[in-house]
């Protein structure tokens, strides 16, 4: 209930600022007088039609409806200039049309729908994109540990097994709901600790029980979209939050992930995305040493021309920050999100 009220207020604020012209004025002011001529880098995870949304075990913050994605891309194509990763790395953005700021589309994790849904829609519109792949999860049918956990949570028989885990989580009964809090708690720890917690509570060989809607693309599927022009970037091997891992693990995750992509896909891998945008000075250094030319975070702001190439910010988009109360694409919500106010 409280969550619904909060969301209604959020949508109301977006509509007020957008339709009064305040957001447009702010953008104009920033670009003209503060010379903030940055690139909008957008980050997506999953693009799902309504039927697959219902059967997916991914959390709502990962998902964008397919119809919303289409409207969003068509809206942006009229107002921004879609660029390839290569262009972002060339430092030559100043020459572009100031009325149409550059925009780079990126995807994380290589979900099956990125190849099946999003890429064909982008190709029809000749919009380039980059995809960040955790190599150890390629071809996995049941998604990440999050989808397995949510699957167990939704199923009354396996939910009972989660009781010892739930007892350990300091639940605040906050706005995000219990399962979100459990996921967040498990996320912010070394992967080895998480694995030992989950081994005890998830049914062995846990499947989500809904076909392969939460599958990760296979190497063959990745090769196909690479040949279609999608730029492939690194995203570690097993997708740990790198700031929680020791030096040896960080080095291995970075090096082995890059090598696997280069060997399997025969491409030079230059870009990296930090899992969950999680980075500190040490991790950034290791990314440079691994031979990456740039790296992306999830900090929601534009990437300035002289911005740090190893801390390129991204606006992560999902239904919650680009749709209105009826779940349809909302230009007001999108513009509020891109103003960094969401
Ligand atoms: Zn990821």
Q: Which stretches of 228-330 are DSSP H helices?
A: 247-265, 281-290, 319-322
Between helices 247-265 and 281-290, what is the axis angle to 10°? Answer: 40
Output the pLDDT for position 36. 64
Distance (Å, rounded) from C-alpha 11 to C-alpha 15?
6
Output the pLDDT for position 158. 83
Q: Where a domain ends, among 156, 176, 201?
A: 201
Is this prediction's pTM over 0.85?
yes
CA 239 to ligand 1 center in whole angstroms: 6
- Neighbouring residues of 178: CB distance < 8 A, sequence distance ≥ 6: 166, 171
Q: Which domain holds residue 215?
A: 2-142+210-338
CA 218 to ligand 1 center in whole angstroms: 16
Q: Taking the CB of residue 283, how many other CB atoms lie within 10 A of it?
A: 20
Q: Are residues 214 and 197 in the same domain?
A: no
Question: Which position has the token pair 């190849």?
Answer: 115
Of the chain, the end-to-end C-alpha distance in Å amounts to 20
Q: Are residues 129 and 154 in the same domain?
A: no
Distance (Å, rounded) from C-alpha 188 to C-alpha 184?
6
- Nearest to residue 152, comparing CAs of 206, 90, 204, 107? 206
pLDDT tens digits for range 95-131: 556 678 899 999 999 999 999 999 999 999 999 999 9
The answer to whether residues 106 and 87 touch, using CB atoms and an 8 Å cutoff, is: no
Q: Are residues 134 and 155 in the same domain?
A: no
CA 276 to ligand 1 center in whole angstroms: 6
Show the tokens assigned to 42.
């957008």
Q: Which residues surround ligand 1, an ion (CB under 5 A)?
A: 108-109, 275
pLDDT tens digits for range 183-230: 999 999 999 999 988 987 887 665 554 458 999 999 999 999 999 999
Output the pLDDT for position 35. 60
Whether 34 has a pLDDT exceeding 70, the answer reads: no
Q: Are residues 28 and 129 in the same domain?
A: yes
**Could you tell me what percentage of the chain is helix, strand and coil, using 3-state DSSP and rounding each to the nearest 5?**
50, 15, 35
Q: Are residues 25 and 170 in the same domain?
A: no
244 sits in which H/E element: none
Where residue 49 sits, what CATH number does that domain have? 3.20.20.370
CA 315 to ligand 1 center in whole angstroms: 14
CA 27 to ligand 1 center in whole angstroms: 30
CA 95 to ligand 1 center in whole angstroms: 32
Rg (CA), the chain: 20
CA 107 to ligand 1 center in whole angstroms: 9
The answer to whether residues 288 and 310 touch, using CB atoms and an 8 Å cutoff, is: yes
CA 168 to ligand 1 center in whole angstroms: 25
Q: Are residues 152 and 137 in the same domain?
A: no
Whether 342 has a pLDDT exceeding 70, the answer reads: no
Q: Are residues 189 and 216 in the same domain?
A: no
CA 125 to ligand 1 center in whole angstroms: 25
Show the tokens assigned to 247.
């030096």
The answer to whether residues 258 and 291 touch, using CB atoms and an 8 Å cutoff, is: yes
CA 292 to ligand 1 center in whole angstroms: 17
- Neighbouring residues of 35: CB distance < 8 A, sequence distance ≥ 6: none
CA 139 to ligand 1 center in whole angstroms: 15
How many separate domains does the chain show? 2
């Amino acid at each position: 209930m409280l969550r619904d009220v909060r969301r209604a207020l959020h949508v109301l604020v977006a509509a007020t600022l957008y339709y009064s012209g305040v957001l447009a004025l702010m953008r104009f002011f920033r670009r003209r007088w503060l010379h903030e001529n940055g690139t909008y880098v957008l980050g997506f995870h999953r693009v799902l039609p309504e039927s697959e949304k219902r059967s997916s075990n991914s959390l709502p913050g990962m998902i964008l409806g397919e119809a919303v994605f289409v409207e969003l891309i068509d809206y942006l194509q009229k107002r921004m200039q879609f660029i390839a990763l290569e262009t972002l790395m060339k430092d030559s953005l100043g020459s572009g049309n100031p009325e149409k700021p550059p925009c780079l589309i990126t995807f994380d994790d290589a979900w099956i729908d990125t190849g099946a849904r999003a890429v064909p829609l982008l190709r029809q519109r000749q919009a380039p994109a980059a995809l960040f792949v955790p190599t150890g999860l390629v071809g996995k049918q049941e998604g990440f540990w999050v989808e397995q956990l949510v699957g167990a949570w939704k199923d009354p028989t396996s939910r009972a097994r989660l009781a010892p885990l739930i007892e350990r989580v300091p639940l605040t009964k906050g706005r995000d709901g219990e399962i979100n809090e459990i996921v967040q708690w498990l996320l912010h720890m070394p992967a080895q600790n998480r694995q030992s917690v989950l081994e005890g509570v998830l049914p062995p060989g846990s499947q989500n029980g809904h076909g392969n809607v939460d599958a990760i693309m296979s190497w063959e599927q990745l090769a196909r979209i690479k040949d279609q022009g999608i730029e492939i970037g690194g995203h570690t091997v097993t997708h740990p939050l790198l700031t929680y891992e020791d030096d040896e693990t960080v080095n291995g995750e970075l090096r082995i992930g890059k090598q696997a992509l280069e060997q399997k896909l025969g491409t030079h891998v230059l870009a990296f995305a930090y899992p969950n945008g999680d980075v500190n000075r040490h991790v950034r250094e290791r990314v440079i040493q691994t031979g990456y030319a740039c790296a992306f975070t999830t900090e929601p702001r534009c990437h300035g021309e002289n911005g740090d190439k190893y801390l390129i910010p991204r606006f992560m988009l999902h239904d919650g920050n680009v749709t209105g109360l009826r779940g349809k694409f909302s230009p007001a919500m999108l513009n509020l999100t891109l103003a960094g106010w969401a």
